[in-house]
């Protein structure tokens, strides 16, 4: 079966030999401590959503912010997920973090992604606060089928609620932020450890 996916000359003979002996039951196909073949194999996690969120929170604390990590498993409908973050009440200056991945239920024909829709869904609530910013972004730099990583909304921004609702109805968060400002463009990062959202009170 391996030969159907990889051109045989590219497969080391040691690999082919091992697979063939396993197929013939001459050796166990599962490596274990008894045969010693796995002793040189180890795994080291060098990046994860937990690591990313913890690092961001640690830096915010160093900068003098009151910090809180809400969750590493942010999920649910994107347009309402951001509201959970801005419900938190900490003394200014503060930074609240959440990692995970939400979902978008598609009703319209617009352009966007889960981070863009999360920001747009919370825009009205953020606007009603004072000195607060919500940032949502995909760690790989690409949110949905767009070149944006996510978006930022601020309590200081002017808000057209009619346009917000229209774009939410059409799942058109990208075009909303392209028109009004707020897109985060990083380019592809080459690393994907889910999404990060954070609220900053200043």
Is the entire prediction scored with pTM above 0.85?
no
Rounded mean pLDDT, 143-164: 96
Rounded mean pLDDT, 65-90: 94
Q: Which residue has the tokens 């966007």?
A: 112
Q: Which domains does the chain have, with CATH numbers?
A: 1-42 (no CATH), 49-201 (3.40.1480.10)
pLDDT attached to residue 34:
63
pLDDT attached to residue 55:
97
Positive or negative, the CA dihedral 137, 143, 149, 152 is negative
Q: What is the C-alpha separation between 196 and 141, in angstroms, rounded?
A: 11
Band the pLDDT of 139: cuts 50, 70, 90. very high
pLDDT attached to residue 33:
60
pLDDT digits 0-9 by tens, 92-136: 999 999 999 999 999 999 999 999 999 999 999 999 999 999 999
Q: What is the C-alpha separation between 140 and 92, in angstroms, rounded?
A: 30
Q: What is the C-alpha separation between 81 and 78, in angstroms, rounded?
A: 5
Rounded mean pLDDT, 141-167: 96
């Amino acid at each position: 079966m391996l030969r159907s996916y990889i051109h045989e000359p590219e497969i080391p003979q040691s690999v082919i030999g091992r697979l063939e002996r396993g197929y013939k039951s001459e050796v166990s196909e599962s490596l274990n401590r008894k045969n010693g073949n796995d002793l040189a194999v180890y795994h080291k996690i060098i990046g994860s959503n937990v690591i990313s969120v913890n690092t961001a929170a640690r830096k915010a604390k160093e900068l003098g912010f009151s910090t809180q990590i809400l969750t590493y498993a942010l999920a649910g409908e994107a347009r309402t997920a951001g509201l959970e973050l801005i419900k938190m009440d900490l003394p200014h200056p503060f930074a609240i973090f959440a990692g995970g991945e939400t979902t978008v239920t598609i009703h319209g024909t617009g352009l966007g992604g889960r981070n863009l829709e999360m920001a747009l869904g919370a825009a009205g609530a953020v606007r009603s606060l004072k000195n607060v910013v919500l940032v949502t972004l995909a760690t790989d730099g690409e949110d949905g089928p767009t070149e944006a990583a996510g978006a930022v909304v601020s309590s200081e921004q002017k808000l057209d609620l009619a346009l917000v609702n229209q774009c939410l109805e059409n799942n058109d968060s990208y075009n909303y932020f392209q028109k009004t400002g707020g897109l985060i463009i990083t380019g592809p990062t080459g690393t994907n450890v889910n999404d990060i959202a954070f609220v900053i009170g200043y």
